[in-house]
Structure 1
Amino acid sequence: MILRPATRGELPAVLALLADEERVVDPASVTVTPAHERAFADIEADARNEMLVLVDDDADAHGQVLGCLQATYIPGLGKGGAERALIEAVRIRADRRGGGLGRELMERAVARAGARGCALVQLTSNKSRTDAHRFYASLGFASSHDGFKLAL
């Protein structure tokens, strides 16, 4: 497996992963809108943002995207002025869950943040996703804060 920044050509595969957590969505069926294109271009151009993909490096898989996440590196005055990494949009293909890919994706993303000098990795997860909460706890994440969101 390889973890690396997504390419523009992988945008449909990433959107397919984000479209439905419970089933596999064919990337060919995904509509890539101008808004998606702009957002991807903005992420690509920003040194503090990465859309990362976990890709199967097996020659027979042809570089199939099996997972993704977005990492945003946030400067701050706390933690001695170190950056923190915010991880969002974590997904593994529905037909590949349960085999350790999610753990591999997250462990590699955390290592990447550490190598960058981040002092903290944080994420949010919907309160209804109790399986995801157990998974994150098994990786060492602590449920230390309540999060709030305001849709605009």
Structure 2
Amino acid sequence: MTDTVFRRARDEDLAAILALLADDEIARSRAGHVAEATPAVRAAFEEIQRDRNNELLVGERAGEVIATLQLTFIPGLSRGGLRRALIEAVRVRSDLRGLGIGEQLMQAAMDRARERGCGAIQLSTDLRRTAAHRFYARLGFEATHAGMKRAL
């Protein structure tokens, strides 16, 4: 099996990233979910690409994007100016789950966060994703806070 390379996303990766995001029952059930590069999605992708505090990472194997996540770097005043990284939208192609790719992707994100001077990394995960909770706990993440959201 070919090794997976983790890198920042490029324009030509957008369709594959959207396919990974769409390959998820919970995500598909959410309002606003799209599986194609609409003008709004394209604008968001371009904004992420321009923003030095946002990165889309992809895992590529044999020329094909098989995993993705978004990494956001957040400067903060609390905890003595601690810089944090926030992980969002973690996906591994469904037929490749359980092979260690997700762990490698998360390690790449944590390495990148350290490189950017972050002292903490955090994420939120849907309460229905019990397998994901076990996965993140195995990687050393702890459920220390309650997350809350509100539509605007």
Deviation at 1:82, TM superposition (A): 2.8
**Does residue 1:55 correspond to 2:60, yes or no?**
yes
- State the SS of the aligned residue for 1:110: helix
What is the rounded CA distance, in whole Å, between the counterparts of 1:98 and 1:111 in structure 2? Answer: 21
- State the SS of the aligned residue for 2:57: strand
- State the SS of the aligned residue for 2:70: strand
Deviation at 1:2, TM superposition (A): 1.4
Deviation at 1:39, TM superposition (A): 0.3
- State the SS of the aligned residue for 2:103: helix
| Alignment match of 2:37 (pick from 14, 29, 32) | 32
Give the aligned partner of residue 15 of structure 1: 18
Aligned residues of 1:79 and 1:119 also touching (Cα < 8 A): no
- State the SS of the aligned residue for 1:86: strand
| Alignment match of 2:49 (pick from 44, 49, 59) | 44
User: What is the TM-score with the length of structure 2 in the denominator?
Assistant: 0.89
User: What is the TM-score with the length of structure 1 in the denominator?
Assistant: 0.89
Structure 1 residues 97-116: aligned runs within 5 Å: 97-116=97-116
Give the number of equivalent residue pairs: 140
Deviations 1:34-78 (A, max 9, x none): 11110011000000000110111xxxx2x1101000001001012
Aligned residues of 1:50 and 1:71 also touching (Cα < 8 A): yes
What is the rounded CA distance, in whole Å, between the counterparts of 1:79 and 1:107 in structure 2? Answer: 24
- State the SS of the aligned residue for 1:66: strand
List 4+ stretches of structure 1 deviating above 3 A: none
Deviations 1:7-32 (A, max 9, x none): 1111000000001226xxxxxxx531
What is the rounded CA distance, in whole Å, between the counterparts of 1:40 and 1:73 in structure 2? Answer: 16
Structure 1 residues not aligned, in runs of 5+: 23-29
Give the aligned partner of residue 4 of structure 1: 7
Identity %: 53
Give the aligned partner of residue 143 of structure 1: 143
Aligned amino acid, residue 4 of structure 1:
R
Aligned amino acid, residue 7 of structure 1:
R
Give the aligned partner of residue 130 of structure 1: 130
Aligned amino acid, residue 47 of structure 1:
R
Q: Please give the root-mean-square deviation of Cα atoms over the aligned residues, in Å.
A: 1.1
